[in-house]
Structure 1
């Protein structure tokens, strides 16, 4: 209780000190994100000049990789990023040995992360074999001995473990092949493997090539939010910088919530710029709507840990750590759960809320 009280006092003091219109030096910020939806909203904010308006000088690095790769970058070079956006699984399971803090939530990718197969796949023969999951394809008999392409230590591993468990299976019953998701469609088109786990926009590319969805993450009870994580040392020294980044993101979130159509031409330009591919207006609008986003107030509720109760973010962390043996695909290895804990902090969201009130 004392530590929470002290934190409350610190936050109160900081809230009184910060102003969105403060005439201070420009804050340099290195941000590394994946080539997906949340990166677009950050890019959009920069395109609109909100970063400069908020006193930020953002160096944005967008990579067509997975969250575990951004964490590996940090292992190799501590200065590679100040803020990164990664899925919950790499953040929690792949963050061992790194000192970072959860500062916000980019979106929820549970409906846009899918297990995909060829249209003639045996995995499409059975639907609802588990009566508690009537929309999920597959059965114990059809899944067993399948070869599945995934990026290990990502949300794909979480989705796969949940899907297998629905039918009383484990990783020992299938062949899991690790790789980069940008290669999976090519492998499958060449006749290799039986299934692949992708996230947007790769899911759309797969659909365009005739592949079908067996199940999405939300259909197998896998909640996969994108977390914004920050280097703890940098965040503690630059709390207002963190808050201003979150405020910039919140401006884009508000537009997506109220007028997603207006973002479509920008999203098309973003995807063309970073992927080299042309996506239709229909896809862009669909993809925007398929990524629920959260306002600062909504995020604060998810980070709320008052009265010594675990916050929603802390509960998710505890849940995933409890499943680390399955998700990491090493069920016989013993893990020290304390090595995987990273303290979520609502400090930066609370400062951002104060700044947003001044911003009106």
Structure 2
């Protein structure tokens, strides 16, 4: 296929904000605009007894981002699950996981939820992974136009019957994605299943909205996207050529805690994990409520979406319930990502063993009683 490079698309890529949380330039952390530490519950009418004093409860500085993985935190605050479990949440807002990692070094947050960016949290900043709380592989798609030759070939590798493309149709293809992210990993795993390497295609770095636009305007052959742009492309009739789900690559969003909090606030973290899974249980039990909460969160943080797209995201990227958590081996996902980052020279190989050293399952076991 003819290689294309459209300067206006790349200019847009440089200007648009990064939606992935892996290796972007950091932005300054700012407190969330709402008072996250305010005790939740029904508003008291005049003359009724005042709410219990929560001033003496320990505070956890919790990082949030404008993505699905922060919805349980929003639910915890809205429903007062923090104060119910003996602590208060103080939120600190970040645009992406890269910015969270930079702030981690400055002790600007104690607990957060990350997927790919957790590699640096553990290997470089000494944080700990203490629970896996959401299936982040859902919605991570490579997509092409329906009239693309790639879309005409399905199941070339019989072990992956839902994967499109083959060596002939992909050779020389221009693939737009945010490099260094899990979407980039999806591209590499897709090529591997078809007997190809990154040397057989042209991978162009763009943020996800720009990659989406490049696909829609014909300025790339394939776009590797994450939600919500992946669902937008699917809704426009683009063909899902691969996903981490149909490639059998597990990925989780995980609860990450700073080294200092892990050492000094273990009892509070047990209560935090307990409250977090109370939230995921409720969200999984009521997907319509979860989808509306997600749409409100996107809108509040300046992202465009729709209720239908949010319903799809909730369905394809389910939260881990308290029962499922008991069956998961914590750390497997971040190990896979770490290996990928080493292969892409995004992480020094000498730091890779530190990932396993910073995985701990004792807190979630105490919180959930198994």
TM-score, reference length from structure 1: 0.77
- Cα pair distance change 1:330/1:283, threshold 3 Å: closer
Structure 2 counterpart of 1:255: 282
Residues 61 and 90 of structure 2 are in contact (CA less than 8 Å); yes or no, is this contact kept in structure 1?
Answer: yes
1:56-80, Cα deviation, whole Å (9 max, x unpaired): 3323345453x34432443xx4223
Structure 1 counterpart of 2:90: 59
1:177-234, Cα deviation, whole Å (9 max, x unpaired): 2332233223333432222222222222223344331111111121111111111221
Deviation at 1:248, TM superposition (A): 2.1
Deviation at 1:128, TM superposition (A): 1.0
1:230-309 aligned at under 5 Å gives the runs 230-280=257-307, 282-302=308-328
Residues 180 and 341 of structure 2 are in contact (CA less than 8 Å); yes or no, is this contact kept in structure 1?
Answer: no
1:100-126, Cα deviation, whole Å (9 max, x unpaired): 111111211223211122333332121
1:294-333 aligned at under 5 Å gives the runs 294-302=320-328, 312-326=329-343, 328=344
Structure 1 counterpart of 2:78: 47
Aligned length: 319
Deviation at 1:316, TM superposition (A): 4.3
Distance 1:133 1:222 in 2: 12
1:146-165 aligned at under 5 Å gives the runs 146-165=173-192
Distance 1:63 1:318 in 2: 24
Structure 1 counterpart of 2:101: 71
Structure 2 counterpart of 1:37: 68
Deviation at 1:163, TM superposition (A): 0.5
Distance 1:254 1:146 in 2: 42
- Cα pair distance change 1:339/1:175, threshold 3 Å: farther
Question: Is 1:92 aligned to residue 119 of structure 2?
Answer: yes
Higher helix share: 1
Structure 1 counterpart of 2:363: 348
Gaps of 5+ in 2: 1-51
Deviation at 1:44, TM superposition (A): 1.7
- Cα pair distance change 1:129/1:177, threshold 3 Å: same
Gaps of 5+ in 1: 1-20, 303-311
Distance 2:278 2:71 in 1: 13
TM-score, reference length from structure 2: 0.76
Distance 1:79 1:279 in 2: 35
Question: Is 1:138 aligned to residue 169 of structure 2?
Answer: no
Deviation at 1:82, TM superposition (A): 1.3
- Cα pair distance change 1:235/1:340, threshold 3 Å: closer
SS at match of 2:246: helix
Deviation at 1:321, TM superposition (A): 4.4
SS at match of 2:366: helix
SS at match of 1:222: coil
Residues 139 and 231 of structure 2 are in contact (CA less than 8 Å); yes or no, is this contact kept in structure 1?
Answer: no
- Cα pair distance change 1:257/1:171, threshold 3 Å: same
Residues 153 and 165 of structure 2 are in contact (CA less than 8 Å); yes or no, is this contact kept in structure 1?
Answer: yes
Residues 167 and 196 of structure 2 are in contact (CA less than 8 Å); yes or no, is this contact kept in structure 1?
Answer: yes
Question: Is 1:104 aligned to residue 135 of structure 2?
Answer: no
Residues 130 and 256 of structure 2 are in contact (CA less than 8 Å); yes or no, is this contact kept in structure 1?
Answer: yes
- Cα pair distance change 1:163/1:225, threshold 3 Å: same
Residues 93 and 320 of structure 1 are in contact (CA less than 8 Å); yes or no, is this contact kept in structure 2?
Answer: no
Residues 112 and 291 of structure 1 are in contact (CA less than 8 Å); yes or no, is this contact kept in structure 2?
Answer: yes
Structure 2 counterpart of 1:307: none
Distance 2:292 2:63 in 1: 23
Deviation at 1:129, TM superposition (A): 1.3
SS at match of 1:29: strand
Residues 66 and 301 of structure 2 are in contact (CA less than 8 Å); yes or no, is this contact kept in structure 1?
Answer: yes
* Alignment RMSD (CA, Å): 3.0
Residues 34 and 86 of structure 1 are in contact (CA less than 8 Å); yes or no, is this contact kept in structure 2?
Answer: no
